[in-house]
Amino acid sequence: MMEQATAARSVDVVLGTYPKDAEPGSGEGMWSARFDRVTGTISDLRQVAQVAAPSFLATTVVSNTRMVYAVSEVPTGQVHGFALREGGVEQRGVVDTMGSQPCHVVVDGDGVLVANYGTGSVATFPVGEHLTKETPVALFQHSGSGPRPDRQEGPHAHYVTSVPATQYMWAVDLGSDAVFLYEGIVKPDGTRGFAARGIAVDLPAGTGPRHVAWDDRGLAYIVGELDRHITVVRPHLSDGSGTILGRFPCGDWDTGREEESESLPSHIAMSTSGRRIYTTVRGRDMLLFWDLPELGEAMDEADGENADVIPCLRGTYRLAGHWPRHFAVVAADDGGDFLLIAQQGSHEIEVLHVATDGVVTQRQSAPIPAPACVVVVD
């Protein structure tokens, strides 16, 4: 599976799935595939491991071994380790996340960070080729709530990301309407770890922050699942805190409370050129994208000050599949992008090509049960 493609024509992809109309542990797991950057097609799509609800994956190289860490989004959360091998994977152990329903995992240097959605906490442990009961896990508990009692009765950590060019990490919490701050440190025994540093950004009440993307200028774009807005934040490199510069809506609709399930933003990511932002909206089943102007160029009006940081909406596209939970962006050979969209509701990976001029075309629909995430193996 892991042979290098000539001239990087194709890339390896790993995918996590939810159980299809069943309880976690019903045969779902991790899949692998190849993606052709010229034809825009997926091939060799197959399941390589059974894991209960591996809703997010992260990859890294440890001692020349390509590792995949897969969360298990169940009441007693776990992270499973796998080594990618020719033709499949090798199980490399499991650790408890000391929380429930972990929904995101990320590798930062030699540390792994996990967002426990159910209990509103972040767990960290060192990278390694093997995960065991002796793997040291540190737990950081979030606090707070929001105005939505059905979704924000308490903290719900959802996503962890590195702040570029710093030793800091941000963990967005959907339940608390806050971005929690962590700092990479060297512990007394000489090993690397993380320390909680409070709150980096307080977001508007009811935002429900879900995922984050970064542009080449170092600005963060935080997509709100509940308020259907994207908040632009500038981090302060000295202490890891952030300042809100502006906000803009994920689309031109304005649904009432009873219709909110029709419009739930999910993932957000930058284009491979660094000049375009993509996001998907579940329920409405839409792709939206905005172009970033050059610094100093006029932009659309923003909610508040610093309107010059708000990008211009370039296009919207009605997806063929249903419930786009996550997507990966892959550079196309013509300068555009391919988007590999995990359509959880319609059980497929929908492949789109987005040209530099904004024209969107569908290239493929690859069947897979309840896909939750798509990760390109670098």
**How does the average pLDDT of the chain come out, rounded?**
92
pLDDT at residue 28, as a whole number: 93
For the chain, which ranges sit under pLDDT 50?
1-7, 255-258, 296-305
pLDDT at residue 25, as a whole number: 80
Segment 77-102, tens digit of pLDDT: 999 999 999 889 999 999 999 999 99
pTM equals 0.93
pLDDT at residue 5, as a whole number: 37
pLDDT at residue 258, as a whole number: 43
- Report how far apart, in Å, the C-alpha atoms of 194 and of each of 69, 125, 126, 155, 197 are: 19, 9, 10, 20, 9
Segment 183-242, tens digit of pLDDT: 999 989 888 999 999 999 999 999 999 999 999 999 999 999 999 999 999 999 999 999
pLDDT at residue 193, as a whole number: 94
